[in-house]
Chain A
Amino acid sequence: MRAYLAFTKKEFIENLRTYKVFIMVVVFLLFGFMSPALAKMMPDLLKTAIPAGLEINIPTPTALDSWGQFFKNVGQMGLLVLVIVFCGIMANEFSHGTLINILTKGLKRRTVILSKLTTATVIWTLSYLLAFILTYYYTAYFWKMDGMYHIFLTFFSLWLFGVFLISLVIFGGTLFKNIYGSLLVTGGAMAVMMLINILPKAHKYNPIILSSDNMSLLTAKQDVSDFMPAIIICSALIVVLVTISVMVFNKKQI
């Protein structure tokens, strides 16, 4: 336990001093601020784009448009930034040989993986919360919050998908010992999930909906029961990926 805390502390120092925390916080603050701002300005932006004389009825934006922007920004760009920031989480240790000293000191290999998972998850959670709080504040300031259902589950879904990506990155990095491994495994998994999404029947079991269909859950177009299977599968996949990572790592020659 003490070794876990010590190594986790090292991970936080690393992420702070290599500006990873800084990048995450700045990017997600930006998303948090941008989402309501974009929703608010969208009609004006559209007006300038429409040629004079053409009459098009642009609906006034609502709180839901703001949250729609939030899921678009965080669910796409945000996740991409998350993967890019953490893609070297395992690879850098392997390529620099920095684990040799630590492992020969008797640190258990699974502690390395669990510490890294903890750190990345905490940083992701904080960044996500920041974006959420900022969007919430401005949305509540501009509009009346109504027409929103299943709020917790909607936001939890996207968070869980982020953790899923982190575990994919760790798994890929452990398996291939380099950054490309992390990116390849994560990108490959995304591609597979998008392919599966073509089949309507598989839709509700596919973890990718946790990052793509949040608005339909929030507006109750989809029900909790449509999301539950994907949430369970996603959670199970996280556990499986972390377990396999530990097993692979135990067998890795360093």
Chain B
Amino acid sequence: MDILQIQNLSKSFGNNKIIDNLSFSVPEHSIFGFIGQNGAGKTTTMKMVLGLLKADSGSISVCDEKVSFGQNTTNQYIGYLPDVPEFYHYMRPEEYLTLCGEVTGLPRENIKKRTEELLTLVGLHGVNKKIGGFSRGMKQRLGIAQALLNEPRLLICDEPTSALDPVGRKEILDILKQVKGKTTVVFSTHILSDVERICDHIAVLSKGKIALSGTLSELKAQYKADCLVIEFANKKDKEQFIAAPQIVPYMDKWEQTDTMITFQVKDVSQTEIVVLDVLSQNRILPLKLEVMEPTIESLFMEVVK
């Protein structure tokens, strides 16, 4: 089942078209990486899903219910972590979560239990100072706690890791991984290593449209322009290798430096057989022979070009 469906969504600010006929859906129980450059429209899209911004056209449904601007009925299914979560600085974390619980209509005994659980999960248990004195990482973690309070079916995180140090980032990603079984996570970012670490589905937003979407493994297979890298011990070995007649058909598919050749080919295994034959026939021992898989980074660079 798709927990979030977006169809033909458009949104402009003045003459500036931010989202242009955007459509995608998020399957249940996935961690969905929503990737895009700064200003690509990620936050705008998320705010429209939450009914905080009004869409110019198109429709959004959450758990098969239509989202309508200003009315927050579908928000009962959603937990939202803004890019820079803001809290009432004069409150303490427990007070804040209690307020959130009461506002969202959780039973009193549940609020107490969930507050304890979540503060432990995000590592803020027993922290009894006012939120005004929190570091950015602590605020982000409290943000996750408030987003998970009502056991949402859909957790939307807007660049949760962008402003954090490596330790803080790892903590946040670990928390997201932990909640994966219970809730679907949509997670926007431009940090591609984070995506590779935890996401199973991704969509790349570029110029207001989805430039690329699917599961991570599908995409890697589909865009398989793998490369084969051979590093030689010296220039002489390389010259000898290139001179071999079997290699000639691959001439236009390689890039070379002094002691390295990189093949950009569709069929890596076939190329690899030929290369190994040539190497053994000529008794050349390379320093390194490596098949490189496409990274999200290379996919991303390719589609946002």
Q: Could you list which residues of chain A lie within 8 angstroms of chain B, going by C-beta atoms?
A: 2-3, 5-7, 9-10, 13-14, 17-18, 96-98, 100-109, 250-251, 253-254
A109–B68 alpha-carbon span in the complex (Å): 14
Report yes or no: A106 in contact with B72, Cβ–Cβ below 8 A: yes
Max count, chain A CB within 10 A of own CB: residue among B54, B73, B100: B100
A9–B95 alpha-carbon span in the complex (Å): 11
For B108, give the chain A residue with the smallest CB separation: A2
Report yes or no: B72 in contact with A108, Cβ–Cβ below 8 A: yes
Chain B residues whose CB sits within 8 angstroms of the CB of A14 once the complex forms: 88, 90
Report yes or no: B104 in contact with A105, Cβ–Cβ below 8 A: yes
Chain B residues whose CB sits within 8 angstroms of the CB of A3 once the complex forms: 102-105
Report yes or no: B72 in contact with A103, Cβ–Cβ below 8 A: yes
A108–B72 alpha-carbon span in the complex (Å): 7
Report yes or no: B103 in contact with A98, Cβ–Cβ below 8 A: no
B interface, over-half SS: loop
Chain B residues whose CB sits within 8 angstroms of the CB of A103 once the complex forms: 52, 72, 75
Residue B99 at the A interface, CB < 8 A? yes
Q: Could you list which residues of chain B lie within 8 angstroms of chain A, going by C-beta atoms?
A: 47, 50, 52-54, 70, 72-73, 75-76, 78, 80, 82, 84-88, 90-91, 95, 99-100, 102-105, 143, 146, 149-150
A5–B91 alpha-carbon span in the complex (Å): 17
A100–B99 alpha-carbon span in the complex (Å): 14
Known contacts A104-B75, A106-B103: A18-B90 contact under CB 8 Å = yes
Task: Sample 28 A-B pairs with CB under 8 A, ordered by A number.
Answer: A2-B102, A3-B102, A6-B99, A6-B102, A7-B99, A13-B91, A14-B90, A18-B90, A96-B86, A97-B82, A97-B84, A101-B82, A101-B100, A101-B146, A102-B99, A103-B52, A104-B50, A105-B75, A105-B100, A105-B103, A105-B104, A105-B146, A106-B72, A106-B73, A250-B70, A251-B70, A253-B52, A254-B52
A-B interface, 8 closest residue pairs, ranked by CB to CB distance from nearest? A6-B102, A17-B90, A97-B86, A104-B80, A105-B104, A107-B103, A250-B70, A254-B52
Known: A97-B86, A105-B149. 5 other contacts (CB 8 A): A2-B105, A7-B103, A10-B99, A104-B78, A105-B103
Report yes or no: B52 in contact with A10, Cβ–Cβ below 8 A: no
Chain A residues whose CB sits within 8 angstroms of the CB of B47 once the complex forms: 254
Chain A residues whose CB sits within 8 angstroms of the CB of B73 once the complex forms: 106
